[in-house]
């Protein structure tokens, strides 16, 4: 029997400790990020037949043509966000809900948008059942969540052709957005937008990554 859907064995915990060490060796220094990677059971976000892949440092398909990001990428984006307890954070691209759970684990109030109905439904049920109190929304991340903003931090987890103006607007003064922006070779440059108190902002770049695309137009039933 597979038993409890949210089982977390010594073996899983051991594999997770190794995964946390892997992201540390790859250069992650924020101890709160490393602790969150060690705390969140990534195998809960996988279909049971693929559990053996959950603790490899790799992206993996989650259905609807999407992927759960590579743990190192999750850690890297989260480190750039400089998460503090109580931060109000908008995530664009809920996917499996793993990244949102990492942010929740770090004490953030998390609002996450997904445009694929099936993934939204799955995350909306799974996250509270697992004890991760993330607010999930079905909609278009290009528009953000104007009625819930502004946010201390914004994280986009799909490759964006440009930085959406609506998201910059929904960032608080002093806020940080982390967004992978498309290059012309099919990969993305990890980009941060830091908003100053006077509303001006500064953009900086943090290396190459590869994401599934941020899709526009209409939401997907
Ligand atoms: N953060 C996710 C990984 C997501 S992959 C995790 O931890 O598992 C990127 C996700 O962005 C996909 O689920 C995709 O459907 C979603 N997406 C793509 N375009 C979007 C848009 N315009 N608005 C909201 N979500 C979008």
Which atom from ligand 1 is nearest to the alpha carbon of 119? 13
pLDDT value of position 207: 97
Which atom from ligand 1 is nearest to the alpha carbon of 141? 23
Span 9-14, average pLDDT: 94
pLDDT at 2 over 70: no
Residue 145 backbone class (left: φ over 0; alpha: ψ -120 to 50; beta: rest): beta
160 close to ligand 1 (CB < 6 Angstrom)? no
Q: Which of 41, 45, 53, 93 to mutate to test the pocket of ligand 1 (most atoms within 8 A of CB)?
A: 93
pLDDT at 199 over 70: yes
93 close to ligand 1 (CB < 6 Angstrom)? yes
pLDDT value of position 52: 81
Span 182-204, average pLDDT: 96
Is the whole-model pTM more than 0.75?
yes
pLDDT value of position 9: 93
Ligand 1 center from residue 69 Cα (angstroms): 10
Which atom from ligand 1 is nearest to the alpha carbon of 93? 11
- Residue-wise pLDDT for 94-133, tens only, equals 999 999 999 999 999 999 999 999 999 999 999 999 999 9
- Residue-wise pLDDT for 13-71, tens only, equals 999 999 999 999 999 999 999 999 999 999 999 987 777 899 999 999 998 889 999 99
pLDDT value of position 1: 41
First to last CA, the chain: 34
Tell me which CATH code domain 57-209 carries.
3.40.50.150
**What is the spatial order of strands in the sheet that 151-156 belongs to?**
135-138, 109-114, 88-92, 151-156, 171-182, 188-195, 201-209
pLDDT value of position 219: 55
What are the extents of the domains in the chain?
Answer: 57-209
215 close to ligand 1 (CB < 6 Angstrom)? yes
What is the residue-averaged pLDDT of the chain? Answer: 94
Ligand 1 center from residue 1 Cα (angstroms): 32
């Amino acid at each position: 029997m597979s038993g409890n859907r949210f089982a977390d064995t010594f073996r899983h915990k051991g594999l997770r400790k190794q995964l946390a060490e892997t992201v540390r060796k790859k250069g992650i220094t924020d101890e709160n990020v490393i602790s969150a990677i060690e705390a969140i059971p990534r195998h809960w976000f996988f279909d049971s037949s693929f559990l053996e892949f959950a603790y490899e440092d790799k992206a993996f398909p989650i259905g609807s043509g999407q992927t759960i990001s590579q743990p190192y990428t999750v850690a890297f984006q989260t480190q750039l966000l400089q998460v503090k307890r109580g931060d109000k954070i908008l995530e664009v691209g809920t996917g499996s809900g793993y990244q949102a759970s990492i942010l929740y684990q770090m004490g953030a109030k998390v609002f996450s948008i997904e445009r694929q109905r099936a993934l939204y439904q799955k995350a909306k049920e799974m996250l509270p059942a697992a004890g991760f109190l993330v607010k999930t929304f079905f909609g278009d991340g290009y528009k953000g969540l104007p009625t819930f903003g502004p946010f201390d931090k914004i994280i986009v987890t799909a490759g964006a052709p440009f930085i959406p103006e609506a998201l910059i607007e929904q960032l608080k003064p002093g806020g940080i957005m982390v967004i992978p922006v498309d290059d012309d070779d099919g990969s993305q440059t990890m980009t941060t937008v830091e908003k100053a108190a006077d509303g001006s902002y500064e953009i900086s770049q943090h290396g190459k990554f590869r994401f599934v695309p941020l899709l526009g137009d209409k939401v997907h039933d």
